[in-house]
Amino acid sequence: MDRCMPLLILLLMGRHGLCQQEEVCSKSLINSCDDCIKSGPYCAWCQTLNFTKKGEQDAVRCNTRADLIKRGCKENEIISPKNKRNIAKDDPLSASQNGQVVQMRPQKIDLDLRPGLPVSFNVSFKAAEGHPVDLYYLMDLSYSMKDDLANVKVLGTDLFAALRKITNHARIGFGAFVDKTVLPYTNTNKEKLKKPCDENDQQCQAAFGYRHVLSLTPNKNDFEAEVKKQFISGNLDSPEGSLDAMMQAAVCEDKIGWNSNSTRLIVLTTDAGFHMAGDGKLAGILEPNDEKCHMENNLYVKSTEMDYPSVGQLAMQLEKNRIQTIFAVTQNVESVYKELSKMIPKSEVGVLSSDSKNVVQLIERAYNALSSKVTITHDNLPENVRVVYRPICSHGEKSEKEGVCDQVHVGDEVIFEITVTADTCMENEFFTISPRGIKDTLTVTINTTCKCQCDTAGPIIDPHPHCNMSGSINCGICRCKEGHVGQFCNCKIGNKQEHTLRASCQKDNGTECEGRGDCVCGRCECHNTDSGSQYYGSYCECDDDHCEKFQNQQCGGKGRCKCGKCECNSGFEGSACQCKTSDEACRTVNNSVCNGRGICKCNQCECKGGYQRPHCLECPGCTDPCQTKVNCIECLGFESGPFKKNCSEACKTISSEIVKEAFTLSPKECKQKDSEGCWMTFKLVQLVGEDNYKAEIMEKRDCPKPPNVIAIIGGSIAAVALIGILLLMLIKLLLYMKDLKEFRKFENEKKKSKWAEVRHHSELFVQTEIAVTHFRLVSLDNDCVGFMLI
């Protein structure tokens, strides 16, 4: 606060006189007035003709209004567009205006904004007394609600009496729901579909999903008459099709009879939870809910074809159709519907008694809670537009999503301060602001100012002498004619193409002259820095003002800045000359610096390739030298291996010693196999440096005994002979089995032949006997001689 008090003229002042954030212009690449006003909400442009000094770029014309005035720019030469607002429609709050109730003002406002600069305006709301109310009573008629239905049938008088306390223009409708008439929600047996209740219940209606019973009516007798015709129904599972019914009641505006100017209420009474999107898969219903009206003969006909709606879909349609919801539920599901209420705008939850006798009092309390809470929010907000609500009431809170005033009574006027900010350029964008559950709407149209409207005093001079007679003046800077370039159009490019000249001023195809100079005839003319010195280099890439700081001093006060890097004085080092030149902490016990495996900077080792601080002694990630030095160990210790011919040269970084019994070095023992298959035992210790070792090699190698050639040959011959014998035996066995099979076949054939011969002789004998007998019988007849046939 102390810092900003002397600069009050440069600060934004709040409506309450509080010191706020200082205006800042964060410039980027500025080539024109248009670029300037787009770069920040507090950037202004000076169009004075000779405002820039030699070596300065036109970007110095872009700064905050206060800084430009300090540099000598006149107030009337400063271009800084302001926000504009125009209230296009502002009908006063009234109970009736041309037959319409006006509860919110204004109704239309046009904003002309500068990107990034917020604008605020007030919106007033006053709930009109006696505003029409439409109440649609949506009841669960599953079997568990049997007692409740009996009480609802005589509810009409009390319910209308309660609504009359609120308004003289009340209407009531009625609808009922159970669940989808498919398995596993409802028993699909033909008899059970007709009568899903118990056998003892004579008054039971057929299973259904959702039925619209009575359109909204001001006649209580109609309500009671239609409700009395209703009977209980039933289903299988506990959750009901509540969301299906609510969705149809919300989107079927003509069927229900919603009044376009009324406060719309749905009262949902149930003692069970609800099915939601995805549950339909259990019945093989995969088509998502389309949020459209599908009512025929007052029945929801797509119940068995479409899935339940999601909570998000239902919330969107309820808000779109300005419907407020009262959940009148039993205590066992109160927590479930309280969670649901958090996701559905303008909804309240009340606890029903077991037989619904308290439903009228519950509706009264819930309506009072809904009507006493005024919530305004926006819809169709364009991208890159921000809205903040600040309720001006005793029970409100600031928010970017909505403005809320609680405990507001009918007739009380509340005000919301709304702040709108457009972050980018846009044209003819609009969005709406409205109270939830109320028809009144404020339409906000947004346009932005992204181009400078520069004033020119006196006649327009074209060409202008300030531009070397090769261009005209626009907002204080030159606009060159074709064939001329440069800050003052002083470069004639002739037959050369301008983009070719400009490309020669770009380093690595980057920004022209690094944004620190002007490209004049293919060469960079560098600007001055903020401190008064000059950028330099072929592409103006260097300056001596931006080096690393230490203790808030450039180069720590111990060196000079040269092209962005510190050149330290003698005795100092580091990127910001922050360290004294010393290697005391880098010294090891052998008096080396970082063990020869790093460099000492700022009295700290910077180790090479994987070695670790503090003294670069160990390298956990490096390959084990026992493996990398095995060829050198073989040639140094046993004069063999790949390096045998040039061992002294290839292994000059290793000093070796042959030991006979015990090692004297402490590192771990290495055991590797050489080119002859022998195991070598040795130890390696790394000396100062990256590739400098001392080795101790055990004199004797562990070489495996050579193979017994005679035994191998003899064994091979014996194995071959054994295999041959086995093969011969196997072949002999197969031949024997084949012969045996053939012999058995022959024996069987032989037996068959003998049997046939015996049979033939038997048949001849029988035939002879028959003939003899016949002869004898014939003789007996002729000669009367009898013979005995035995």
Structural domains for the chain: 20-81 (3.30.1680.10), 84-129+375-448 (2.60.40.1510), 133-372 (3.40.50.410), 549-580 (2.10.25.10), 625-698 (4.10.1240.30)
Which residue pairs, CB below 8 angstroms and at least 24 apart, start in 486-492?
486/518, 486/520, 486/521, 487/57, 487/58, 487/518, 487/520, 490/520, 491/520, 491/521
pLDDT band at 4 (very low <50, low <70, confident <90, very high): very low
Question: How many CB atoms are located within 10 Å of the residue 593 CB?
Answer: 17
Q: What is the pLDDT of residues 258-283, one digit of tens each?
A: 998 888 999 999 999 999 999 999 99
Query: Above 70 in pLDDT, residue 130?
Result: yes
pTM for this predicted structure:
0.57
For residues 781-788, average pLDDT: 41
Q: Are 640 and 633 in contact (CB under 8 A)?
A: no
pLDDT band at 326, cuts 50/70/90? very high
Is the pLDDT at 99 greater than 60, yes or no? no
Convert the pLDDT of each residue in 475-515 to its tens digit.
888 888 887 777 778 777 766 676 777 788 888 877 888 87
Given a cut of 60, whether residue 781 has pLDDT beyond it is: no
Does 789 score more than 50 pLDDT?
no
Q: Which residues pair with 174 in a beta bridge?
A: 137, 214
* Maximum average pLDDT range among 8-22, 236-250, 366-380, 522-536: 236-250
The three-state secondary structure class of 571 is: coil
pLDDT of residue 298: 93
* Phi, psi dihedral angles at 378 (to 5 degrees): -115, 165
**Beta-carbon contacts of residue 316 (< 8 Å; ≥ 6 apart):** 291
Query: What residue ranges in 538-640 does DSSP mark as E strands?
Result: 549-550, 553-554, 559-562, 565-568, 572-573, 579-580, 598-601, 604-607
Mean pLDDT, residues 193-212: 86
CA 367 – CA 326 distance, rounded (Å): 8
CB atoms within 10 A of CB 550: 19
Percent of the chain at pLDDT > 90 equals 32
Given the DSSP bridges, would you call strands 559-562 and 565-568 parallel, antiparallel or unpaired?
A: antiparallel
Per-residue pLDDT averaged across 315-332, rounded?
92
pLDDT of residue 231 exceeding 80, the answer is yes
608-653 residue pLDDT tens: 888 888 889 888 888 888 888 888 988 988 888 888 888 888 888 8
Q: What is the number of other CB atoms lying within 10 angstroms of the CB of residue 48?
A: 16
Q: What is the overall mean pLDDT for the chain? A: 84
More confident: 5 or 491: 491
| pLDDT tops 50 at residue 390 | yes
pLDDT of 772 above 60: no
Q: Rounded to whole angstroms, how far apart are CA atoms 630 and 695?
A: 11
Peptide bond into 463 cis (omega under 30): yes
pLDDT at 416: 93
DSSP state letter for 308? P
Rounded distance between C-alpha atoms, residue 681 and residue 738, angstroms: 66
Q: Report pLDDT for 96.
A: 54
* Stated length of the chain: 790
Lowest average pLDDT, out of 94-103, 160-169, 171-180, 380-389, goes to 94-103
Distance CA 5, CA 745 (A): 128
State residue 297's pLDDT score: 93
Query: Residue 768's pLDDT band (boundaries 50, 70, 90)?
Result: low
* Local confidence band at 788 (pLDDT 50, 70, 90 cut-offs): very low
Reported as a pLDDT band with limits 50, 70 and 90, residue 654 is: confident
Question: How many whole angstroms separate alpha carbon 125 and alpha carbon 101?
Answer: 12
If you ran DSSP here, which 8-state letter would residue 649 be given?
H
Give dist(CA 118, CA 694) in Å, integer. Answer: 75
Q: Directed axis angle between helix 334-343 and helix 311-320, to 10°?
A: 60
Angstrom distance (rounded) from CA 392 to CA 736: 116
Residue 784 pLDDT level (bands cut at 50, 70, 90): very low
Instruction: Tell whether the model's pLDDT for residue 48 goes beyond 90.
Output: no
DSSP type of residue 542? B
Q: How far is CA 310 from CA 77, 268, 447, 518, in A?
A: 59, 17, 37, 61
Mean pLDDT computed over 760-779: 52
Greater pLDDT, 101 or 290: 290
User: How far separated are the first and last CA of the chain, in Å rounded?
Assistant: 156
Q: What is the pLDDT of residue 790?
A: 33
At 757 the pLDDT is 62
- The per-residue pLDDT for 23 is 79
- Are 135 and 265 in contact by the 8 Å Cβ rule? The answer is yes
pLDDT of residue 761: 59
The tally of CA atoms less than 13 A away on the side-chain side of residue 694 is 9
pLDDT higher than 70, residue 764: no
* Residue 434: other Cβ atoms inside 10 A: 21
Alpha carbons 259 and 252: distance in angstroms, whole number: 12
> Is residue 783 scored above 60 in pLDDT?
no
DSSP-derived secondary structure for 209-272 = SEEEEEEEES-HHHHHHHHHT--B---SSSSB-HHHHHHHHHH-HHHHT--TTSEEEEEEEESS
- State the pLDDT at residue 458: 55
- Residue 2 pLDDT: 43
pLDDT tens digits for 285-305?
A: 999 999 999 999 999 999 999
Strands (E), 506-661: 517-520, 523-526, 549-550, 553-554, 559-562, 565-568, 572-573, 579-580, 598-601, 604-607, 654-659
Name which of 516, 495, 494, 512 is nearest 503 in CA terms.
512
| 8/433 Cα distance (integer angstroms) | 35
How would you classify residue 418: left for phi > 0, otherwise alpha for psi between -120 and 50, otherwise beta? beta
- Selected residue with higher pLDDT from 133 and 398: 133
Please state, in angstroms and as integers, the Cα–Cα distance from residue 537 to each residue in 368, 430, 555, 563, following that order. Answer: 75, 50, 21, 9
